Structure 1
Amino acid sequence: MTITSFNRVVASIPNGCLRGNITSFFHQYHSDFSHSFTVLVQQRTSQRTFATTSHQCHNEPKYPTSPSGPLVPGCETRERKNAQMGDNTLPSKPPANDPNPNPNPVPVVVEESPFPLTAADKWVLSQTDEEFKCHSWDELRTLIQNNDLSVLKRKPSDLRRYMKWTAETKASYGSMTNYLLAHRLPKTWGEPPFTPVSDVPFAEPSDYCVLLNDWPYGFEPGITHIVVWTCTAIATDDDKGDMTPESRNIVGDFVKRYFVDRLGPGGEEKVLYFKNWVALQSVRALEHIHVLVKDVDPALIEEWTREQEWHKA
């Protein structure tokens, strides 16, 4: 018997036959051809009974390790998952430069959000608070220097509460802007569009308001998150809504005189600041910047964020 004759015989066997049955069927043939036969049967039957999918899998297919071994379930294509779960599935890997990857993410459907979720947000929602790694000061410095602002994220439980609170606040007030105007921002500003005293951001104290962030990102202990709101527009570029070089200098000068200089020598090592791109802002109608301070006396933070007389109606 030749390989060609084996080929004809194997081709005549029904597709549903298992490898063990095929091997038994041909056991009567001469042992000189056993090696050639085994190779041929493996080639033909692996195409018929052991392939779990015709698509590219996201993990290694789990084929039997022997001709009579059982087929191990569990190899599922990403296309099938996406078809079942829709567009809100979690990313298959953490965002680029993510310092907080989850090594064993559990695919879940991301609940409807009242604001656009970044890839980092979706990744966080696959984790528990115990798995979450808080942002360190050195890490924050690197992220801000590289303008990797989309990687900043809240703890999983905080993010879920923030999503819930935002949805309820929008339902009650119509928008986040209405809520902030009613409860957080100076009454002297009136309603937008505002009429600032100065067209230069942060040039006039009555044109800005310094507040603690009600919903800070997930930081290590000792880091305080402050938001500075302004009724003066901060110029941004037309690409992704980032600050222009001129407006970045204006913001930097303000942060230095208001925060860094009050801390004395070495104060620049305790202060970081950034402005989210327009696409990352959950409150887009009102201008604001973020300031992070590390290991600062709570009394000074209270002084920075207290209501000023010129803001009272």
Structure 2
Amino acid sequence: MDDVLDSVPGSEPPALEKIAVEIARETAALALAVRDRVVGDLSVADLATKSSATDVVTAGDRECEALVRERLAELRPQDAVLGEEEGGDDEPEPGRLRWVVDPIDGTVNYTHGLPWFSVSLGVEVDGRALAGAVVEPVSGRVWSAAAGHGARLDARPLRASALDRPGIAVVGTGLAYDPARRERQAALIARVASSIGDIRRQGCASLDLCSVAAGWIDGFFEHGLKPWDWCAGALIAEEAGAVVRRPTGPGVPDDGWGAEATFAAGPALAGPLAELLRGAGAAGL
């Protein structure tokens, strides 16, 4: 693997982290500008409709992903790209780096004026995460990591929670758009709620994973996330010392989670929390 990275100058994880931060910051500024512009063009009547909210998201997502692709074409033309809006390389050839972009993670928050949304940009090779950045447009906070070099919030090192008891842990989760899966997720939350200290549902998976990295929450789980939701955030949590479980591919043996589960928790909490969730039927989500 190191031979692959050494063959392309500038492919060392810290150098890739720097690129991810640079592009995500630029894109975060665009996300705010697009929202302000599109909302400003809507009438009061328009703002009450579902279609107007969709217009804000569509404009923001498309313009932001286009900017990321443009900048990557300038800086890393040899790499593959997978984005939420335009798709791309699902399975790049072995040894080729792939950037995974969520131009706006937390789109419901984005359209409703809530500040908890992000631009998420990660890079991987052969399924191994190398670097990533998650930038909050409203606060300007920058979360980032490079494989083997730790994780940072605005250049300050991050460390996951040392808590070891689910009964006092604050745990983040999310709910899918699909009504049937949402119902199953809500039922799981109900089954474990009395065994967990508290639950948070913040609406932005990348920032939930970053929150695990910072110890702001002690753990996180969700089923149905896509690579662009977790690529950067999962590495940031992992480099902060969290135990991370990403969704698995075809042919991977069942581990009691189901293929589409994302999980992260501080190292002392990970075992007890995972046991609690799996015992409550997490694999059925």
Shorter-chain TM range is under 0.3
Question: Of Structure 1 and Structure 2, which has the larger fraction of its residues in strand?
Answer: 2
Higher Rg:
1
TM-score by length of 2: 0.24
TM-score by length of 1: 0.23
Name the structure, 1 or 2, with higher relative contact order (CA <8 Å, separation 6+): 2
